[in-house]
Amino acid sequence: MTSIAQLLDAPVTPACDPGLATPTWDFDALPTYGPGASVADVVPAATTNARSRPGQLPIAYQRMTNDELHARIAAAKASLGDRVVILGHYYQRDEIVAYADFVGDSFQLAGAALTRPDAEAIVFCGVHFMAETADILAREEQTVILPNLAAGCSMADMADEDSVEAAWAELAQVYRFDPDETVGPDWFERHPGGKLPVVPVTYMNSSAALKAFCGRHGGIVCTSSNARTVLEWAFARGERVLFFPDQHLGRNTAKAMGVPLAAMPMWNPRKPLGGNDAEALRDARVILWHGFCSVHKRFTTAQIAAAREAHPGVQVVVHPECPMAVVDAADAAGSTELIRQFVADAEPGSTIAIGTEINMVNRLAAQHPDKTIFCLDPVVCPCSTMYRIHPGYLAWTLESLAAGEVVNEIQVDPDVARHARTALERMLAAAPKPLTGTPSTSTTSTSSTTGGPR
Ligand code: SF4
């Protein structure tokens, strides 16, 4: 199978940005997310969930050949043995996934880490918010490492703590509640049948600070696989929901539950009252934050029409971070895990067009040679922030660990972690679905667990 890096090196390959073929460390100090789908998204200056410092890959690792890097990763991983667990997100490069003990989505990987409580270090090959979540759920003695600290998520950074706090204060005036009141973990038990004016719901793709905000205000976390269950939980406890940061997941989920579009106003944090009038907000059921995924917003109904014309009988499956029109035009929509299962369950000989990140699509195509599988977007465009985890960073962090030095550790403030854990545990209690991270090189299976939180 040709890796995305090899595809980008080929001069004839159409890519969304030619800069993707440039070594990732050339962009680590820039105030943007670098070349790729999210190149236009500038990292917010005061964000709490963006890069904590520029990437600092030593020059020796920048100069190594791919063969040298892979030999060193393999040697360091072997010498560390069970002391380390490596997690690889579905959207990672194949060169990284090859060394992952578990491969899955962010929620599955957080659960997978909990099955290795004896590992001293969790190396999370994903993006910043995922490593934060792993740190929140891990044992206190465990160290969580993000190989490249510049691997953020442009969607997560579209909702920063200050903007959400400001929105909350405005909503408090409209709905007449105390914005500073903390809704403790037992509030709902002490107020049976009681409803909050607004329940904050944050997507897993958000900073620990926003998960903590939800924990403090009677809110909850959701993932793309349990968003409906979580919204049902929230509607049972509140008059309406403030959903951030991804407008599309919120809209697609609520629409499927029968919430009319007119009851889903958008909240633009740059405008007073989010760009709404107070009357419209009073009738709202779901207030949608003005955020989106730069990768999934590339998918269009025109691409679906083209796929149907070129491949009669094609099945189209997309991620719910795609715009509503795309989800409506697809045959199925769901989380990365649902997409993986959709492909696995398809009959041999099927043709499937997929609307999600290209590393995952290409891997599915390689795993199912008896089916024709392709990405709806004809242009090679990986998640540019996930792509920041170049093998050089993995070699550096593993070799440092083997030498007794921890680099690029992610540590969530204990008070933030405590409240964030409240929101995560509400999600785990609300979601009947077990965590099912896919073991990669390991034969250990993951299991349903709330883990051993600190
Ligand atoms: S695919 Fe989108 S939501 Fe996921 S990490 Fe990349 S930018 Fe963030």
Q: Over the range 237-254, which residues count as b (16 or more CB within 10 Å of their CB) and which as e?
A: bbebbbbbbbbbbbbbbb
**How crowded is residue 164: how many other Cβ atoms within 10 Å of its Cβ?**
25
Q: Are residues 125 and 203 in the same domain?
A: no
pLDDT per residue as tens digits for the range 42-63: 555 444 344 444 457 999 999 9
Q: Are residues 209 and 76 in the same domain?
A: no
CB 143 within 8 A of CB 454: no
**Percentage of the residues of the chain whose pLDDT score is greater than 90:** 72
Exposed/middle/buried for 157, CB within 10 Å: 0-12, 13-18, 19+? buried
Residue 448 lies in a domain: no
Residue 326 lies in a domain: yes
Q: Are residues 309 and 356 in the same domain?
A: yes
- pLDDT beyond 80 at 365: yes
Find the farthest-apart pair of alpha carbons in the chain and give their distance in angstroms, rounded. Answer: 64
Range of the domain at 303: 296-375
Q: Are residues 44 and 89 in the same domain?
A: yes
pTM, entire model: 0.90
**How crowded is residue 414: how many other Cβ atoms within 10 Å of its Cβ?**
10
Residue 451 lies in a domain: no
Q: How much distance in Å is there from the Cα of 81 to the middle of ligand 1?
A: 30
Q: Are residues 161 and 27 in the same domain?
A: no
Considering its fold, how many domains does the chain have in total?
Answer: 3
Q: Are residues 181 and 267 in the same domain?
A: yes
Residue 421 lies in a domain: no
Q: How much distance in Å is there from the Cα of 268 to the middle of ligand 1?
A: 20
For ligand 1, mutation pick of 90, 124, 204, 205 (most atoms within 8 Å of CB) = 205
In this structure, what token pair is assigned to residue 6? 């090899």
CB 286 within 8 A of CB 250: yes
Compare 106 and 451 and report the one with higher pLDDT: 106
- pLDDT beyond 90 at 173: yes
The pLDDT score that the predictor gives to residue 51 is 41
Instruction: Look up the CATH number of the domain holding residue 393.
Output: 3.40.50.10800
Residue 452 lies in a domain: no
Rounded to 10 degrees, what is the CA torsion of 17, 321, 368, 307? -70
Q: Are residues 148 and 264 in the same domain?
A: no
Q: Are residues 94 and 105 in the same domain?
A: yes
Residue 273 lies in a domain: yes
Q: What is the phi/psi pair of residue 103, to 5°?
A: -125, 135
Q: Are residues 331 and 404 in the same domain?
A: no
The answer to whether the annotation marks 293 as part of a ligand binding site is yes
pLDDT per residue as tens digits for the range 116-131: 999 999 999 999 999 9
Q: Are residues 78 and 139 in the same domain?
A: yes
Atom 3, ligand 1: residue with shortest CA distance: 293
- pLDDT beyond 90 at 111: no
Domain boundary residue among 258, 289, 320? 289
Q: Are residues 103 and 189 in the same domain?
A: no
Residue 408 lies in a domain: yes
Listing from the earlier edge strand, what are the strands of the sheet with 102-104? Answer: 143-145, 121-125, 84-89, 102-104, 438-439
Q: CB under 6 Å to ligand 1: residues?
A: 38, 91, 127, 153-155, 205, 293-295, 357, 383, 385-386
Domain boundary residue among 289, 318, 333? 289
Angstrom CA distances, 54 to 149, 225, 317, stand at 7, 32, 36
- pLDDT beyond 70 at 185: yes
The answer to whether the annotation marks 106 as part of a ligand binding site is yes
Q: Are residues 258 and 322 in the same domain?
A: no
Atom of ligand 1 nearest to the CA of 127: 5
- pLDDT beyond 60 at 451: no
Domain boundary residue among 346, 375, 404? 375
